[in-house]
Amino acid sequence: MFAFSRLVAHLVHHPDWTGAAQAVLLFLLIWFCWSLFTWSANSVSGNGRVVRAVFLVATAVTVPMAASVETAFGSGGFTFAASGGVIMLMAAVLQLVSFDRESEFFRNAVRFAWPNLIAITVFVIGGTVEGGARVALWLLTLAIFLGSTIAAGSSDWILRSGHFAERHGLILIIALGEVVVAIGISVVGGLDEGGLGQATRIGLTAAGALAGLLWWSYFDRVLPALEYRSEQYSDHERGRFGRDAYTYAHAPIIGGVIAIAAAAEEALLHPDEPLHIEFRVMMAVGFALFLSGIGIAVYRGFRVVAKERLVGLVAITVLCLTTGGWDAVWLLVAIDLLFLIVLVAETLRIEGRQASDAGVGQADSSSSASAET
């Protein structure tokens, strides 16, 4: 959560294209560190002392990595890269020491570890140089990671669907906590000025509702559906599904929440003033990332398109880009109402169809019984 908090702060203080590009690069590096460790932790038992020791080291190292996010392109570059490199190295070690050396899983882990070791080296070297060279090496790091995950799709991996879904649900909860943090920042600022005004109180309610709606849009159907779909695959296909629906598709989901949190924080800091175009664009892009990530994951598993969410995304984007004269608080309220309508419409359609299918099935069963009689 600390790393996400620093990314939100970076976006709030640098709401331009350069700041956004830097935030995207840092987020993807953090995401790959977390994803590699999540895959490793998912495939091993957490009861062994060696495994627990690796968890402890990796957890401790996340603190300096998160603390150096805002200075990653300056003096904190080496701390950020070295800490991330240790986390990724621990992920590789976790699998190599846990699998039977004669198993296919161990051989797959070895093949997967080599390109990642190269990526770790490039990552850390990037932290020792400056300017464009650092950016280039960190982009190369991401390219190597991406290539290794694509290549890994042809191998078999252990994936415990329930644990994997739980881990990704928890990381989303952590990201949603940033919306709550944004609320807290505005509360503290309002108290310092002698109390909370009406606009701030309305904004706090709207921001809290927004966090709740984001939670509902994922946890009500998407999380259990993806877990269920993962269980239906064979062991070989389950690994590919985990990579596509979780490692890949959840990156924009989490990134979108971070962007939404940054825009919400700015809105709550100045609730009775129009939200600057940079933050309105940030809000729209955040929703685009969040909803597209969910849409990709759902389509990967079920080959269905969330039509209501596409319509809602268009409506929210138009709203954000055409309400430059609105106070920020009313923009938040309008977004809440639109998103609520989208989710209710989706729920009514899906549950109505399920009820209809159940009725047809019951009727078919009755007809069959009558025919047999």
Give the whole-angstrom CA distance, residue 286 versus residue 157. 32
Instruction: Please check whether residue 144 is in contact with residue 88, taking contact to mean a CB–CB distance below 8 angstroms.
Output: no
What is 190-212 written as a DSSP string?
HHHTTS--HHHHHHHHHHHHHHH
Q: What is the pLDDT along the chain (373 residues), one digit of tens a residue?
A: 678 888 988 998 899 999 999 999 999 999 998 998 888 888 776 666 777 777 788 888 888 998 999 999 999 999 999 999 998 888 888 777 776 777 777 777 777 888 889 999 999 999 999 999 999 999 999 999 999 888 877 777 778 888 899 999 999 998 888 767 766 766 666 555 556 778 888 888 898 899 999 999 999 999 999 999 999 998 778 889 999 999 999 999 999 999 999 999 899 888 889 999 999 999 999 999 999 999 999 999 999 998 999 999 999 999 999 998 999 999 999 999 999 999 999 999 988 887 777 665 554 443 333 333 2
How far does the chain reach from its first CA to its final CA, in angstroms? Answer: 63
Instruction: Please check whether residue 209 is in contact with residue 333, taking contact to mean a CB–CB distance below 8 angstroms.
Output: no
How many helices (DSSP H) and strands (DSSP E) are in the chain?
14, 0
Q: Which residues in 70-79 are b (16+ Cβ under 10 Å) and which e?
A: bebbeebbbb
Which residues partner with 274 through β-bridges? 327
Instruction: Please check whether residue 317 is in contact with residue 339, taking contact to mean a CB–CB distance below 8 angstroms.
Output: no
Give the whole-angstrom CA distance, residue 205 versus residue 187. 12
pLDDT of residue 369: 32
Give the whole-angstrom CA distance, residue 366 versus residue 361. 9
pLDDT of residue 105: 72
Instruction: Please check whether residue 207 is in contact with residue 332, taking contact to mean a CB–CB distance below 8 angstroms.
Output: yes
Which amino acid type is present at position 92? A
pLDDT of residue 360: 57
Give the whole-angstrom CA distance, residue 268 versus residue 201. 9
Q: Cite the beta strand spans of 311-351 per DSSP E.
A: none
Coil/strand/helix, residue 79:
helix
158: phi then psi, degrees, rounded to nearest 5: -80, 125
Give the whole-angstrom CA distance, residue 127 versus residue 140. 13
Instruction: Please check whether residue 290 is in contact with residue 256, taking contact to mean a CB–CB distance below 8 angstroms.
Output: yes
Q: Which of 84, 240, 85, 250 shows the shortest CA–CA distance to 151?
A: 240
Q: Which of 176, 179, 202, 178 shows the shortest CA–CA distance to 190?
A: 202
Give the whole-angstrom CA distance, residue 276 versus residue 293. 26
